[in-house]
Amino acid sequence: MTTLVHNTFQLERDYPVPPATVFRHFADETLKQKWFGTDEGWTSLGHGMDFRVGGVEYDEGRWANGTTSRFESRYLEIVDDLRLVYVYGMVVDDVRLSDSLASIELTPTDAGTRLTLTEQGVYYDGHEDPALREQGTGWILDNLGRALTTA
Amino acid sequence: MTTLVHNTFQLERDYPVPPATVFRHFADETLKQKWFGTDEGWTSLGHGMDFRVGGVEYDEGRWANGTTSRFESRYLEIVDDLRLVYVYGMVVDDVRLSDSLASIELTPTDAGTRLTLTEQGVYYDGHEDPALREQGTGWILDNLGRALTTA
């Protein structure tokens, strides 16, 4: 017997830079590498990014404990400086954990930009707790905040 | 200004045939054409189906009033006779309406099969009401029911 769990979460962050700057940190591979999926104890096994509708992005690596993971994403909708929609899968040690439809919206504010991320995901066979995915995604957005303010 | 609307709906149908039969009506292109996206006043402009993880399915046509529409889907997860996950976009007259993560689960019952369809979608700029999508998807599942019982 297998099971699917469906879960949706939404996160908001305010950044003190204009939407075009936030957008560039998603669209430019070098800038994205500064904040996305980098961590101590992580060895990259490869990444690629083809930033256009239909293009694939992937990021693959090994943790210090030997666990490997692969993020693979495909862009579905891109509106410069405004929004970005992609679908991504997570595979850990060759087990598929989940597929998620993710959307990013950028809204100009007096102080800079409000980013709203919404993830609608399907999780396979109890391999991952959606609450942990939400927490991990929040950390990644905090990494982005640090990259934006220390550039 | 653009807007995104996120919506999730779930539909259930009971069919008086075993899961393997229902599954075959998704996996076999000839069987699928009997129930999916066929309607009076619809002229097909092409379809294709590559039923494997990573493969694309598309179905394109013109309505009697001249409106064209294109369904384009990519398979993310396939477990024979059990489940199917795909992401699909709908484009009408070259305007992208939505992207959706859809999952189908098949559960054996005493009478045959319970199908559970869950769609987690993002809808662009008010071009489509998610309630209508849910209604239309329900009709398609009813078409499947007729195809299963008149085969």
| CATH number of the CATH domain containing A141 | 3.30.530.20
d(CA B33, CA B26): 9
Residues from A contacting B (CB-CB < 8 Å) are: 2, 4, 6, 8, 10, 74, 76-77, 79, 82-83, 85, 87, 89, 96, 99-101, 103, 105, 118, 120-122, 124
- In the three-class reduction of DSSP (H, G, I as helix; E, B as strand; rest coil), residue B5 is classed as strand
Which token pair is A132?
A: 């942990």
- Report the chain B residue with the minimal C-alpha distance to residue A101: B101
Residue type, A33: Q
Domain of residue B116 covers: 4-150
Give the number of domains in chain B.
Answer: 1
- Report the chain A residue with the minimal C-alpha distance to residue B7: A120
For residue A16, what is the DSSP state?
S
Query: Per residue in A14-64, pLDDT tens?
Result: 999 999 999 999 999 999 999 987 677 889 999 999 999 999 999 999 999
Best of A99, A115, A117 to substitute, by most chain B Cβ atoms within 10 angstroms, is: A99
Q: What is the pLDDT of residue A51?
A: 98
The reply to whether residue B120 touches residue A124, judged by beta carbons under 8 angstroms, is no
Task: Let me know: does B105 contact B82? Beta carbons within 8 Å.
Answer: yes
Shortest Cα–Cα distance, A142 to chain B (Å): 23
More confident residue, B1 or B42: B42
User: Is pLDDT at B84 greater than 60 in this prediction?
Assistant: yes
Q: What is the pLDDT of residue B128?
A: 92
Task: Tell me which residue of B35, B25, B29, B31 sits closest to B47, measured CA to CA.
Answer: B29
For residue A71, what is the DSSP state?
E
Which of B77, B83, B99 comes nearest A101 by C-beta?
Answer: B99
What is the edge-to-edge ordering of all strands in the sheet holding A4-15? A4-15, A112-124, A95-109, A83-92, A68-79, A56-63, A42-49
Classify the complex by whether its ipTM is higher than 0.90, answering yes or no: yes
Report pTM: 0.95
For chain A, where are the alpha helices, taking DSSP H only? 19-27, 29-33, 130-149
Cβ neighbours of residue A56 closer than 8 Å, sequence gap 6 or more = A48, A50, A72, A73, A74, A75
The reply to whether residue A101 touches residue B89, judged by beta carbons under 8 angstroms, is no
Output helix, strand, coil percentages for chain B, rounded to the nearest 5. 25, 50, 25
